[in-house]
């Protein structure tokens, strides 16, 4: 429990709390990264000056997830800022407080801010390492969304929209990303060249809660200058209403999407140009948009849920591809060159996301036999004695050896050989997601 003094400290209320709004300085470029193996060709990124990148994170994850961005995601970006729920410096970069302009009454009394009040008073020392690790790993589930970091995160989106406009009022595009978002900048810039930044645009991977269609924050989303300014002005005219909505909701990206929709700016459904999974977890053979369109055939501009250890690997692939090819990489190119070399007939402590339950089996080999007898089966997994198969091909990801139950995954390697060519044949000049 927090002390009465701590609560009182945050109970100082101003009649017009908008006067608390403060200017920020953009984080400096990380120094001396020219020799990094994953360095991108910054000079080729024409149009990067038109972007303002807003990276949103939280105190429970920032020390672990931010550092890799300084030598990959943010290395070439001249205009960016990092926001969290706790102000600090990490490896020479200033991390600003996203919530310092929230109504002081809300900060002092709303249960979502109990974690925040403790954090501001004592820093991370107010929590155990076990608590911080658990909150950092919280997933988008009912339980995960009830964790302190999740409950606080939803309050960041609308303030960050205003802070972004105030800091870079002349930016053509505002790019909002998270600490596990990977952006392919050259691809993004080429995609944005198809849009007029003087018009209101809201681009992102489509999600829906209730009747609100919005851009999924983890995939990264893009808002043009006039669109974001309209949203900020409308929010300021209806502060109490949107504060009430935020308090009752659980998804800040949905709330921002509603504000934009309320001003007449609707989302351009941008999946799979902007994607909500890491490449190893994507089903490139899936369809979307009520059609037979497949992600495999489209250019890739972002991924999500990328572990820190993968950033340099993916950046190296991106750098090599852009240097050696005249076009941007499609998802199929990412799979063929970045994902496919990692497949093996058997991977222990690995979840390849197979989902068709085949019942109980005696062994891994028996599960493999079940898959082999199914003509379209590409992969399988064994969890305890439960066998699962899949007609989709997804590498998946490593899981802890301490995880219970343990998972072993397998692939029918001879069926992988022709997979890329078979997928290529399904493409019909698809490129970018455009209006």
C-alpha–C-alpha distance, residues 203 and 216, integer Å: 10
User: Could you tell me the pTM of the whole model?
Assistant: 0.88
Q: What is the dihedral of CA 425, 428, 431, 435, to 10 degrees?
A: -150
Q: What topology does CATH give the domain 4-269? A: Spore Coat Polysaccharide Biosynthesis Protein SpsA; Chain A (3.90.550)
Q: Which of 89-103, 196-210, 397-411 has the lowest mean pLDDT?
A: 397-411
| Chain centroid to CA 76 | 19
Q: What is the pLDDT of residue 64?
A: 95
Cα Rg of the chain (Å, integer) = 23
List, for residues 366-406, the tens digit of each pLDDT value.
Answer: 999 999 999 999 999 999 999 999 999 999 999 988 888 99
- Confidence (pLDDT) at 7: 40
**DSSP-H helix ranges across 137-224:** 142-145, 148-153, 157-167, 185-192
Q: Give the DSSP letter of residue 239.
A: H
Query: Does the pLDDT value for residue 41 go beyond 80?
Result: no
pLDDT above 70: residue 36: no
For Cα atoms 42, 47, 52, give the angle at the middle one, nearest 5 degrees. Answer: 90
Listed in order, the ranges of the chain carrying CATH 3.90.550 are 4-269
Q: What is the pLDDT of residue 16?
A: 34
Confidence check: pLDDT of 15 > 70: no
104 near 17, Cβ under 8 Å? Answer: yes
pLDDT digit string (tens) for 258-289? 999 999 999 999 999 999 999 999 999 899 87
Cα 272 to Cα 297: distance, rounded to the nearest angstrom: 9
- What residues contact residue 309 under an 8 Å CB cut-off, 6+ apart? none
Mean pLDDT: which of 141-155, 221-235, 314-328 is highest? Answer: 221-235
CATH 3.50.4.10 maps onto the chain at: 279-424
Q: Which are the contacts of 166, defined by CB distance < 8 A and separation ≥ 6?
A: 21, 23
The b-or-e profile of 257-285 (16+ CB within 10 A means b, else e) is bbbbbbbebebbbbbbbbbbbbbbbbbbb
Is the pLDDT score of 350 beyond 70? Answer: yes
pLDDT of residue 289: 79
Residues 30-58 have a mean pLDDT of 72
**pLDDT at residue 135, as a whole number:** 63
pLDDT over threshold 70, residue 411:
yes
pLDDT tens-digit readout, 56-72? 999 999 999 999 999 99
CATH of domain 279-424: 3.50.4.10
């Amino acid at each position: 429990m927090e002390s009465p003094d701590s609560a009182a400290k945050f109970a100082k209320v101003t009649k017009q709390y908008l006067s608390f709004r403060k200017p920020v300085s953009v984080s400096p470029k990380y120094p001396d990264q020219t020799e990094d193996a994953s360095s991108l060709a910054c000079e080729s990124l024409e149009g990067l000056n038109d972007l303002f990148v807003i990276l949103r994170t939280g105190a429970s994850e920032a020390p672990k997830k931010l550092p890799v961005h300084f030598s990959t995601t943010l290395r070439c970006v001249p205009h960016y800022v990092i926001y969290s729920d706790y102000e600090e410096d990490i490896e020479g970069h200033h991390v600003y407080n996203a919530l310092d302009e929230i109504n002081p009454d809300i900060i002092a009394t709303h249960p979502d801010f109990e974690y925040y009040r403790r954090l501001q008073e004592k820093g991370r020392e107010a929590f155990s390492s076990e608590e911080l690790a658990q909150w950092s790993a919280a997933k988008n589930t009912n339980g995960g969304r009830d964790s302190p970091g999740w409950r606080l995160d939803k309050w960041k989106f609308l303030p960050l929209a205003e802070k972004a406009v105030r800091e870079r009022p002349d930016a053509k595009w505002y790019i909002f990303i998270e600490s596990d978002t990977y952006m392919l900048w050259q691809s993004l810039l080429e995609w944005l060249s198809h849009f007029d930044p003087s018009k209101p645009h809201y681009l992102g991977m489509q999600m829906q809660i209730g009747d609100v269609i919005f851009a999924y924050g983890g995939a990264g989303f893009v808002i043009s200058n006039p669109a974001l300014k309209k949203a900020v002005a409308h929010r300021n005219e209806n502060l109490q209403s949107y504060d009430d909505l935020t308090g009752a909701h659980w998804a800040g990206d949905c709330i921002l999407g509603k504000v934009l929709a309320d001003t007449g700016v609707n989302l351009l459904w941008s999946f799979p140009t902007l994607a909500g999974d890491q490449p190893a977890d994507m089903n490139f053979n899936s369809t979307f948009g009520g059609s037979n369109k497949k992600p495999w055939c489209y250019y890739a501009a972002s991924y999500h849920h990328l572990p820190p250890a993968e950033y340099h690997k993916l950046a190296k692939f991106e750098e090599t591809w852009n240097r050696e090819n005249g076009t941007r990489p499609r998802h199929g190119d990412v799979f063929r060159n970045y994902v496919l070399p990692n497949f093996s007939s058997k991977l222990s402590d690995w979840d390849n996301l197979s989902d068709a339950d085949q019942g109980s089996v005696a062994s891994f080999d028996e599960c493999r036999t079940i898959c082999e007898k199914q003509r379209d089966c590409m992969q399988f997994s064994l969890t305890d004695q439960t066998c699962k198969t899949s007609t989709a091909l997804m590498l998946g990801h490593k899981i802890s050896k301490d995880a219970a139950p343990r998972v072993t995954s397998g692939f029918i390697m001879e069926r992988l050989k022709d997979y890329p060519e078979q997928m290529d044949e399904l493409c019909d000049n698809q490129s970018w997601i455009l209006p």
